[in-house]
C-alpha cells in the first residue's frame, strides 16, 4: 500500500515541518519543488533507531573516550537514501572540493565548540561522542534531520529550498536533538515535543551566535536563514523573537507559529503541533536573552541548558520547564532570574503574581 502525503506529513521530524512540505506539495507555482516535496514526504526519514551509549570493557568498567576536540566524519550518500554513504572527509583531513561537505564539517565543529565553551559539555552525550554527518541524501530531498546517531542533509530542490548545510542554525538545531536525546529524551509529542523542537532551536541559534561572537541584541534570532531561494517570500523557517513572521509566501502560506499561550494550537497534525507551538517557548528564550544582554549562552542559555540537564521528565510541558529554568536562573543571578520570569509571563506560560486578582 502506498504512503499518502498527508500521513507522511504528520510524522515527519526534520528541520522542515511536515505541514510546510505538505503545502509545498500542492503548489502550482513551484512545480519542481512540489514534486520534490512529495518525494520527501513519501521517503520520510529513517527510523529514530539508536541512543547514545557508553561501553563496558572486559573487566566490567564503564568506558568513555573523553576528548576536548571533536571527532568529525562526513559521508556522501551520493543522492541515494542509503546511510551512511561513502566517507569523504575525516577529522584530520583538509577541506575538499565539495562545499557541502566542508559546510557540514564546519557546522559540526561550531556546535561542538558551543557545547564545550558555553556548557562544558563534551559533545552531544557529554562523553566525547563522535559527530557524524551524511550529505547529498536522496534526490532533491527537502530536509535535514538527526536520525539518532548522525546528521543527514538533503540538497533541496533548488526552486524553494537551496540546501541545508549552509545554515549553521540548522546544523546546531539537529545536533541539538542529539543533546536532548541524551539529556532528557523529551517525548516528541504535544508540549514536550514542542519543547524538544524549541530547545533544539535554542541550541541552533546559540551555535550561530557563538560562532559569530554575537550578543543577544546583535543576533537575528532566525532559524534556517538562507535555506530558502530568492523566489520565496520569507527570511527563514522560524523567527524566535517574532514567531509567525518568518515567511509569508503566496504558495507556502504564512508562518503559523503562535507567540503566546492564548494562541496555542490544538492539533493532531505535526505530532500535536511540535513545530508550531514551539514558537511560544522560543519567544520566551529570545526575550529573556535580550533582557539579560551580552552573550545569550552566558545567561538565559545557561539557565535553559541547566534546566534540560536537571533530570527533566521526558513528558515535561511548558510550565514544568519554565519552573526548571527559573530554578537554574536563580543560581546564576537575580537579574537573570527576573529576565527569565518576565519572559515566561510575557508569553503566557506562567502568571504574574504581581497582578493577581485578590481573593
Tell me: the pLDDT tens digits for 302-323? 999 999 999 999 999 999 999 9
- DSSP 8-state class, residue 300: H
CATH fourth-level superfamily of 5-354: Neutral Protease Domain 2 (1.10.390.10)
**Distance from C-alpha of 145 to C-alpha of 140, rounded to nearest angstrom:** 15
Q: Can you give the pTM of this predicted structure?
A: 0.87
The question of whether 174 is a catalytic residue gets the answer yes
Would you report the helix, strand and coil content of the chain in percent, each value rounded to 5?
Answer: 40, 10, 50
Answer whether residue 147 shows pLDDT above 70. yes
CB 304 within 8 A of CB 321: no
The pLDDT score that the predictor gives to residue 232 is 96
Residue in this structure with the C-alpha cell 524549541, named with its chain if needed: 198
Of the candidates 222, 342, 339, the one whose C-alpha atom is nearest the C-alpha of residue 352 is 342
Please tell me whether residue 87 adopts helix, strand or coil conformation. Answer: strand
Domains of the chain, by residue range, sit at 5-354
Q: Exactly one of 136, 177, 275, 295 is catalytic; which is it?
A: 275
Task: Spell out the residues 6+ positions from residue 75 whose beta carbon is closer than 8 angstroms to its own.
Answer: 83, 84, 85, 86, 87, 88, 132, 133, 134, 135
Q: Exactly one of 174, 197, 208, 225 is catalytic; which is it?
A: 174
Summarised one tens digit per residue, pLDDT across range 157-201 is 999 999 999 999 999 999 999 999 999 999 999 999 999 999 999
Q: What is the CA radius of gyration of the chain?
A: 20
Of the candidates 135, 148, 142, the one whose C-alpha atom is nearest the C-alpha of residue 46 is 148
The question of whether 275 is a catalytic residue gets the answer yes
Query: In this structure, what are the phi and psi dihedrals at residue 248, rounded to the nearest 5 degrees?
Result: -155, 90
Amino acid at each position: 500500500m502506498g504512503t499518502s502525503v498527508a500521513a507522511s506529513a504528520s510524522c515527519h521530524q526534520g528541520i522542515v515541518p511536515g505541514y510546510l512540505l505538505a503545502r509545498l506539495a500542492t503548489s502550482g507555482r513551484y512545480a519542481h519543488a512540489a514534486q520534490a516535496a512529495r518525494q520527501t514526504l513519501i521517503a520520510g526519514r529513517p527510523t529514530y533507531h539508536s541512543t547514545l551509549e557508553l561501553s563496558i570493557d572486559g573487566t566490567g568498567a564503564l568506558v568513555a573516550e573523553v576528548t576536548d576536540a571533536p571527532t568529525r566524519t562526513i559521508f556522501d550518500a551520493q543522492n541515494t537514501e542509503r546511510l551512511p554513504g561513502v566517507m569523504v572527509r575525516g577529522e584530520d583531513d583538509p577541506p575538499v572540493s565539495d562545499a557541502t561537505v566542508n559546510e557540514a564539517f564546519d557546522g559540526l565543529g561550531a556546535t561542538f565548540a558551543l557545547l564545550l565553551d558555553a556548557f562544558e559539555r563534551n559533545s552531544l552525550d557529554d562523553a566525547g561522542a563522535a559527530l557524524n554527518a551524511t550529505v547529498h541524501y536522496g534526490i532533491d530531498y527537502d530536509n535535514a534531520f538527526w536520525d539518532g546517531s548522525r546528521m543527514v542533509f538533503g540538497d533541496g530542490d533548488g526552486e524553494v529550498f537551496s540546501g541545508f548545510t549552509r545554515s549553521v542554525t540548522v546544523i546546531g538545531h539537529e545536533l541539538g536533538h542529539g543533546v536532548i536525546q541524551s539529556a532528557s529524551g523529551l517525548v516528541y509529542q504535544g508540549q514536550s515535543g514542542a519543547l524538544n523542537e524549541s530547545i533544539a532551536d535554542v541550541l541552533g541559534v546559540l551555535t550561530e551566535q557563538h560562532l559569530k561572537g554575537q550578543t543577544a541584541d546583535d543576533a537575528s534570532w532566525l532559524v534556517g536563514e538562507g535555506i530558502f531561494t530568492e523566489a520565496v517570500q520569507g527570511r527563514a523557517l522560524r523567527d524566535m523573537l517574532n514567531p509567525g513572521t518568518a515567511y509569508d509566501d503566496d504558495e507556502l502560506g504564512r508562518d503559523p507559529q503562535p507567540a503566546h499561550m492564548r494562541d496555542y494550537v490544538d492539533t493532531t497534525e505535526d505530532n500535536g503541533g511540535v513545530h508550531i507551538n514551539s514558537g511560544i517557548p522560543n519567544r520566551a528564550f529570545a526575550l529573556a536573552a535580550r533582557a539579560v544582554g551580552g552573550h545569550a549562552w552566558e545567561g538565559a542559555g545557561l539557565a535553559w541548558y541547566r534546566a534540560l540537564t536537571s533530570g527533566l521528565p521526558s513528558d515535561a510541558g511548558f510550565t514544568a520547564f519554565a519552573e526548571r529554568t527559573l530554578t537554574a536562573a536563580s543560581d546564576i543571578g537575580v537579574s537573570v532570574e527576573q529576565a527569565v520570569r518576565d519572559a515566561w509571563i510575557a508569553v503566557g506560560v506562567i502568571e504574574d503574581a504581581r497582578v493577581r486578582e485578590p481573593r
